[in-house]
């Protein structure tokens, strides 16, 4: 039906066509910008592939249950964690990153406290905050005990406000 118009008023229609082309260019420009934005975004965003390659998704064997005495805290610096064994035999695996700004907390055996060297945060043996600025208890890793071997899922760092009994795993 456009052809009819062209015959009736050539000038007016060429303008319409020009308008259409101008708009088309604009739309194409926007599409290009969106594609570029997506492309750049994909480049700068954190890649998940690396974690898969580094094999963090597996259960990490931390030793035999009997290696850890009752009421002890054992640092495992290679895996950036502490193995906490409570007096009643329950296990917790705590991340050593302070929940404030990520410094590696230190275990003070005398005071039975975790102390962060960066901003003086203090945690008890269960990871509860005793002194701010840390906003929440130390993160922990889920623990699985199979055939006396203590294993932790290091790919899942669990955040929590406070310690509760269901975060503890017992050797059956």
**Applying CB under 8 A, which of residues 14, 47, 112, 156 lies at the interface with another protein?**
47
Is residue 57 at the binding interface for another protein, with CB under 8 A as the rule?
no
Is residue 115 at the binding interface for another protein, with CB under 8 A as the rule?
yes
Q: Which of residues 11-40 bind another protein (CB under 8 A)?
A: none
**Applying CB under 8 A, which of residues 63, 90, 133, 142 lies at the interface with another protein?**
133
Stretch that binds another protein, among 63-71, 84-92, 97-105, 141-149 (CB under 8 A): 97-105
**Applying CB under 8 A, which of residues 101, 148, 164, 170 lies at the interface with another protein?**
101
Is residue 131 at the binding interface for another protein, with CB under 8 A as the rule?
yes
Phi, psi of 16, deg, nearest 5: -60, -40
- Give the Cα separation of 135 and 131 in Å (integer): 9
- For residue 167, give the nearest of 143, 136, 138 by alpha carbon: 143
Q: Are 94 and 108 in contact (CB under 8 A)?
A: no
Is residue 135 at the binding interface for another protein, with CB under 8 A as the rule?
yes
Q: Are 100 and 116 in contact (CB under 8 A)?
A: yes
- Give the Cα separation of 149 and 131 in Å (integer): 34
- Give the Cα separation of 136 and 156 in Å (integer): 17
Residues that bind another protein in the complex, under the rule CB under 8 A: 44-47, 50-51, 77-78, 80, 96-97, 100-104, 106, 115-120, 131-133, 135, 157
């Amino acid at each position: 039906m456009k052809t009819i118009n062209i015959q009736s008023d050539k000038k007016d229609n060429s303008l319409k066509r020009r308008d259409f082309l101008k708009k088309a260019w604009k739309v194409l420009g926007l599409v290009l910008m969106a594609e570029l934005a997506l492309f750049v975004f994909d480049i700068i965003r954190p890649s998940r592939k690396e974690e898969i390659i580094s094999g963090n998704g597996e259960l990490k064997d931390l030793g035999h249950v009997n290696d850890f005495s009752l009421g002890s805290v054992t640092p495992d610096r290679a895996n950036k964690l502490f193995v906490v064994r409570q007096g009643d035999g329950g296990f917790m695996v705590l991340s050593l990153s302070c929940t404030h700004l990520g410094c590696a907390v230190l275990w003070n055996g005398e005071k039975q406290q975790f102390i962060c060297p960066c901003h003086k945060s203090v945690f008890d043996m269960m990871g509860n905050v005793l002194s701010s600025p840390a906003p929440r208890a130390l993160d922990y890793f889920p623990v699985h005990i199979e055939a006396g071997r203590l294993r932790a899922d290091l790919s899942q760092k669990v955040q929590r406000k406070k310690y509760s009994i269901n975060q503890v795993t017992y050797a059956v």
